[in-house]
Chain A
Amino acid sequence: MFIQIEPTSDIPIYTQLANQIIELIARGQLKGGDTLPSVRALASDLSVNMHTVNKSYHELEHKGIIRIVPKSGAIINPIVQEGITNENSRRIIEQLKPIIAEAIVLGMSPEVIQEQTTSILITLKGE
C-alpha cells in the first residue's frame, strides 16, 4: 500500500497525503478498522515534518474519514453505506464546481469531462 508525495508540488504535502489515503480507501485497499501508521513513522518514512502528517490526519478526522483514538492511533472508518449526508454532499459539490468550471474555461468539452469522470470512477471502484 504505497503512497507518494511530490515535495515541490503546489499542492501542500498534507493535502497530498490526505488525498492518497482517501484514494486507498475508495479503492478498497484500506478498509474500515485498519490503522494508519503512527505520525512519527510515516513522517520519518517520507522525511517530512511530523506536523505535516499530523495535520493531514486531523483533516481526515475532521471529514469523518478516520477517527483518532488515543494510544491506538488513527483508525479508518468504514465507507459510508447509508448514503451521503446533505452537509457532505453540499461540500463536495462546492469543491467540484470550480474544477469543472476551470476545465470548461481551459477548453475541455463536456463529453470529455463526462468521459474522464467515468474513467476515474472505474479505476477507483474497479467496475
Chain B
Amino acid sequence: MSLAIFLVTLAFLIVLQSAIPFLLKRTIVFGVTIPEEYAMDSSLASFRRKYSTIIFLSGAISLAALLLWSTNTSASENQLVLTGLAIQSGLLLLSMALYLYFHAKTTKLKQINNWGYGLKQIRIADLQSHAKDSMLPNFMYVLPMFVTVGLIVYTASQYSLLPDQIPTHWGPNGQPDAFSQKTPFSSIALLLMLLVLQVMMLGINVATKMSGVKLNSSRKKSSQLQQLAFRKYSSWFLLLTTILLTILFGFLQLTTIHGTLQNDTVMMALPLAFLVLMLVASAIYAFRVGQGGSRIAVSIAEEDTTSVSEDDMDDYWKLGVFYVNKQDPSIFVEKRFGVGWSINFGNPIGYFVLIGPIVLILLITFFA
C-alpha cells in the first residue's frame, strides 16, 4: 500500500518537475530576464525542451524500472520505498544540476546577444494595487485555530479517558506505530503542532499581503490582473491546506481520545484523501494559475512600449533562484523558477516566519 502511494507521488513529481519551464513566464528563462521580443528565441525554446525531456525521460525510465523490479522480486516493501526515495532525490539533484547548467547558458546567451542592452530599464507600480488585492482576510486563518483550542480544552476535560500510551506517529495503514508516555503535555502535543502550523499559515498570509505586487512594465494591465489572481489563488490554496490539516490532526486526536472511533477503513482513507486532495490542488494551482498567474488568460490591449524595458533585477537573483534585496521590504517574492513564493533573503522577517515554526515543532516532538 505504502509503495502505491509512494509511486503515485513520485509520478506526480516527475510530471510537475518536467513541466516547470512551461508553467513559467515567457520573459524569465531559467532565472534570467529576457526582453519580451526575444522570449521566443529558438535556442531558449530548445533549452526549455531539453530540460523537460531529460527530466521526464529519466524519471519515467527509473519509475518503470522500479515498477518492473517490484513485480519480479522478493525485496521487501521497505527496500522498494527506499529505492524510490533514492530515485526521488536523484531526480531532484538532476533537475538542480540541469537548472544550473541552463541558467549559465541562458545568462551567456543574453550577454552575447546584448539582449535588453541600451534600453531604458524601468519599474512600474499601480497606486491602487493593494486596494484591488483580493487575498483572503487574515481572520479566515484564525477561525481554524478555534477548532484547535476547542480540541485542547476537550482533551483536557477527557484526560482520564486517554490511553496510557499516546500515539505520536501513524503508519501508512493509518494505524499508530509509535507512542509516548501519557502526560498532560504529550496528550496535546499533536494539537500544539497543529496550532503552530496554523499560526505559520496565518503568518504566511500576512507576510504575503505585505509583499509587493510586482508588475511587468511592458504588459502592465494584464500582468496586474495576473498578479492579483495569483495572490488570490495562493491564499485560497493556503487556506485549503490549513483546513485539511485541521481536519486530519483533529480526527487523529479524537481517535486517540475515543478508541471506539477507530475504524480501520477511515484511518487509512483519511490520510490518503488528504494526500490526493493536496496533490490535485497543487496540480490545479500549478497548471491553471502558473507562475505569477502567467497561465491565466487575460485579454487586455496594452499600449506599445518598445523604447523601455523591464528592469531585469537579475543582480538581485543569486543563481536565478535566491532573491537577496535588502532595500525591498517585501518578505516573500514570487519564485523565478517554479510556481509559488520564495523568501527575500535580504529581509530577515521571512526566516522567522518559516524557520520559527519548524524549530517549535521539533521542540514539541522532542519533549512530547
Contact = CB atoms under 8 A, between A and B. Distances in A.
A4 B328 contact: no
B125 interface: yes
Contacts of A44: 210-212, 328-330
Contacts of B210: 40-41, 44
Contacts of A43: 212, 328-329
Contact of A2 (B220, B325, B330): B220
A26 B127 CA distance: 16
A7 interface: yes
A42 B210 CA distance: 10
A3 interface: yes
Contacts of B131: 37
A123 interface: no
A66 to B, nearest CB: 12
Given A37-B129, A50-B329, A8 B121 contact: yes
A6 interface: yes
A83 to B, nearest CB: 28
A48 interface: yes
B327 A36 contact: no
B329 A46 contact: no
Interface string A1-32: 11111111000000000000000100000100
B328 A7 contact: no
- Count chain A CB atoms within 10 A of each CB in B120, B210, B211, B328 and give the residue with the most: B328
A7 B211 CA distance: 20
B313 interface: yes
B363 to A, nearest CB: 32
Contacts, number: 83
B127 A3 contact: yes
Main secondary structure of the interface of A (DSSP, over half): mixed
A49 interface: yes
Contact of B122 (A5, A36, A38, A41): A5
A127 interface: no
A89 to B, nearest CB: 28
- What is the interface residue range for chain B against chain A? 20 to 34
Interface in A76-127: none
A52 B328 CA distance: 11
A42 B125 contact: yes
Contacts of B328: 43-44, 47-49
Contact of A37 (B127, B220, B327): B127
Interface in B226-266: none
B67 to A, nearest CB: 47
A45 B213 contact: yes
Nearest to B330: A44
11 contacts: A3-B127, A4-B123, A37-B127, A37-B130, A38-B130, A43-B212, A44-B330, A45-B129, A45-B130, A47-B325, A48-B327
> Can you list the 9 inter-chain pairs with the closest CB atoms, starting with the nearest?
A44-B212, A45-B125, A44-B330, A49-B327, A47-B328, A45-B212, A1-B127, A4-B124, A41-B130
Interface of B: 120-131, 210-215, 217, 220, 311, 313, 316, 325, 327-330
Interface of A: 1-8, 24, 30, 36-38, 40-50, 52
Given A4-B122, A36-B127, A47-B327, 12 more contacts: A1-B127, A1-B128, A4-B123, A6-B122, A7-B123, A37-B127, A37-B130, A40-B210, A42-B127, A44-B210, A45-B129, A45-B215
